[in-house]
Structure 1
Amino acid sequence: MKEEGVKKVNMSILETEIDLITSIKNDFAIFENSSDLPVLDYPSRLEMGMMAICLRGTTRMSIDLKEYTFGANDMVIVLADQIVQQHQRSDDFLCCVFAVSIKFAQEAILSYRQFLPTLLRIKEDPRIPLKPEEVVSVLEYCSFLRQRVNMRDNCFRREIAKSLFHALFYELGNIMNRHAPAVGRQVKTRRDEVFEQFIHLVRDHYKAQRSVTFYADKLCLTPKHLSNVVKGLTGKSAGAWIDDYVILEAKALLKSTTLTILQVSEALNFANQSFFGKYFKQHTGVSPTQYRRM
């Protein structure tokens, strides 16, 4: 059987499909020509981070299968590995979009962990309504980045872009903190490291491993200690984080592919279709078949 799964969108796809785009190949891109943005028929997983500011009009889209409507002066942040789907947009819709690869972001922002509470909040609610002066401030960064990236004879343009993105990231952090002050530490702790390593492991293994013990063993911790750390930092248990990844993938596969329910259960390493159906209904309240028909 040919493998079928959730469609993935990466930097290369953006650079290929969008005409008027300012970019450094496979690193980051800025564009405003919203008409080139595809209205995706099915949920797609981002292999990059994206930030967009709606300048006019409205758009309706889903992020991790939750539906939102965004309008003028709304900033939207979608984290890498989240699942997105744009359902529709108004005829006058216009936005400025900034996309960055995971590698480029990690190179530019070595201390991003201090924003862990903010990043967790974004995952729960990606919309930040901006004041007019905040919109102007962010657009100034985007304009300056676009100018510098377009200087293709500058042999240091990637390094310049990296520094400017670093500054933009902290500007965005300051804006988000003004709207909803983050509570917590400003210095990375061992607990932060454990949570970060746990999430990376979950992203790599959730399709095959749903046991907290598996991840605790990988981190050389007891399941109880791992659960206490994750619960203390995020308010959600380690098991709940694992279940969220599994259920999100299951929902996306049910909605965006022609896989049978048996094939979905096999893709997620369930012993049989019946066990998958009970697991899915326990976490969603409906059966896989009912969800697919919704």
Structure 2
Amino acid sequence: MNGQDEKIHKITLSNYPVSNTETTIKNLLIPDNSFPVVIHQLYIVEGIIICICKEGRGKVKINMNEHEIVPDKIIFFMPGQVIEPLVWGENIKLQSLFFSIDFLLEFNPVFDIKTINKIRNIPCLSISKDIIHNLSDFHSLIVKYYEKNTHIFQEKIIKTILLAFLTELAGIYYSVEIEKNFVSIRKDELYNKFIQLLLKFHKKERSVGFYAEKMFLTPKYLSKIIKDISGVSATEWINRMVMITAKNLLKTSNLTVLQISEELNFPNPSFFSKFFKKNRGLSPIEYRKK
């Protein structure tokens, strides 16, 4: 997590850059080949992005786990996942769809909880060229009608094709055998829940006990789960998230050290400065000057 800018950036339907913004379809975007990422920055997606890699190579961390992006791979970026691009080749070519959770709910019978759990556990999946070809055909057809915004039944046609696209994907994941057992899947679910709570409460709560109580777990058990899944302790996750916010406030705001310490619920600036120096090697004032 030693990124250029350690703020967690949100990728949303409203801030995603696209070439065509005239469509009347709500909660659905079809990005062009570009993907708005900066190497080693942290992102969280508010929605679901599905990418088909056609050319080029990349590498990305999804919830601290590294995944290679290569041709003939399908990539899912799911809500609540912390994403860190590690390598992103200039020649990478993706076919992508970006839609909201509400939009996906219309296709709920296709993606049951078992399939969604598989996707979370295997967000990057290599598939055969034949299936890639089928998915690419569906994508091209969606793009064709997405840009034809004068068609009276544009939305219905797109949703029909998208249903076929998602059904093909659901079938792929349905047949995938997950090596992890049920206990491991449950741990992944708890890990994702911890990350969500951390994003919401880290400005006010820095104890493992607080998050464990919210999740109806003991602090010891929660700590073990987070360490097992991510290789990073729950305490370190909390400290990193607080540091991300602290650095961002020092770099992008005019708040004083006192105001930032209050924003992050430290008892006084001295406690905040000691915490910051322990985790960064510089005092907040030195970091701001640097």
Q: CA deviation at 1:55?
A: 0.7
Amino acid at match of 2:171: N
TM-score (norm 2): 0.63
Q: For residues 60 and 156 of structure 1, what CA distance do their matches in structure 2 show? A: 39
What letter is aligned with 1:80? Answer: P
Q: Does 1:94 align with 2:93?
A: yes
Bigger CA drift: 268-277 or 138-147?
268-277
Mapping of residues 221-240 of structure 1, within 5 Å: 223=217
Rounded Cα–Cα distance in structure 1 between residues aligned with 2:86 and 2:14: 22
Structure 1 stretch displaced more, 204-213 or 139-148: 204-213
Are the aligned partners of 2:202 and 2:241 in contact in 1 as well (CA < 8 Å)? no
Equivalent position SS for 2:38: coil
1:215-273 deviation per Cα after TM superposition (whole angstroms, max 9, x unaligned): 67768x6x45x9989x99xx869xx779757645745875998379x788766545533
Corresponding residue of 1:188: none
Residues 22, 29 of structure 1: 8 Å contact kept:
no
Aligned to 2:30: 30
Shift in alpha-carbon separation, 1:248–1:215, aligned structure 2, 3 A = closer
1:169 deviation in Å?
3.1
The offset of 1:168, in angstroms, is 3.1
| One-letter amino acid of the counterpart of residue 105, structure 1 | L
The one-letter amino acid paired with 2:30 is I
Match of 2:168 in 1: 171
Partner of residue 272, structure 2: 273
Q: Is the 8 A contact 2:52 2:96 kept in 1?
A: yes
Q: Is the 8 A contact 1:202 1:242 kept in 2?
A: no
> Residues 38, 31 of structure 1: CA spacing in aligned structure 2 closer, same or farther, 3 A cutoff?
closer
Contact 2:25–2:155 under 8 Å retained in 1: no
User: Greater CA deviation, 91-100 or 154-163?
Assistant: 154-163
Q: TM-score, normalised by structure 1?
A: 0.62
Whole-angstrom distance in 1 between the partners of 2:74 and 2:22: 20
Greater radius of gyration (CA): 2
Q: Which amino acid aligns with 1:40?
A: V
- Say whether the 8 Å CA contact 2:52–2:74 is kept in structure 1: yes
Percent of counterpart pairs with the same letter?
21
The answer for the alignment partner of 2:55 in structure 1 is: 56
- Kindly tell me: are residues 201 and 103 of structure 1, through their superposed partners in 2, closer, same or farther at Cα, counting changes over 3 Å? farther
Q: 1:172 to 1:268 in 2, by over 3 A?
A: farther
Aligned pair 1:204/2:200, yes or no? yes
Out of 107, 132, 137, the position equivalent to 1:135 is: 132
Instruction: Indicate if the aligned counterparts of 2:80 and 2:196 stay in contact, CA closer than 8 A.
Output: no
Matches of 2:32 and 2:262 in 1, distance apart? Answer: 41
Structure-2 change in CA distance of 1:142 and 1:265 (3 Å):
farther
Given the alignment of the two structures, is residue 76 of structure 1 paired with residue 72 of structure 2, yes or no? no
Gaps of 5+ in 2: 1-5, 183-188
Q: Select the structure that is richer in helix.
A: 1
Query: Is it true that 1:147 corresponds to 2:140 in the alignment?
Result: no
Structure 1 gap ranges (5+): 186-192, 282-286
> Which region of structure 1 is more displaced relative to structure 2, 142-151 or 264-273?
264-273
CA deviation map 1:32-53 (0-9, x unaligned): 433xx34525333322221211
Contact 1:43–1:256 (CA<8 Å) still a contact in 2?
Answer: no
Instruction: Decide which moves more: 50-59 or 75-84.
Output: 75-84
Q: Shift of the alpha carbon at 1:57? A: 1.7
Q: Contact 1:52–1:95 (CA<8 Å) still a contact in 2?
A: yes
Secondary structure at the counterpart of residue 11 of structure 1: coil
What SS does the aligned partner of 1:208 have?
coil
The change in CA–CA distance for 1:216 and 1:31 in structure 2 (over 3 A counts) is closer
Match for residue 40 of structure 1? 38
Aligned pair count? 266
**DSSP-derived class of the 1:128 partner:** strand
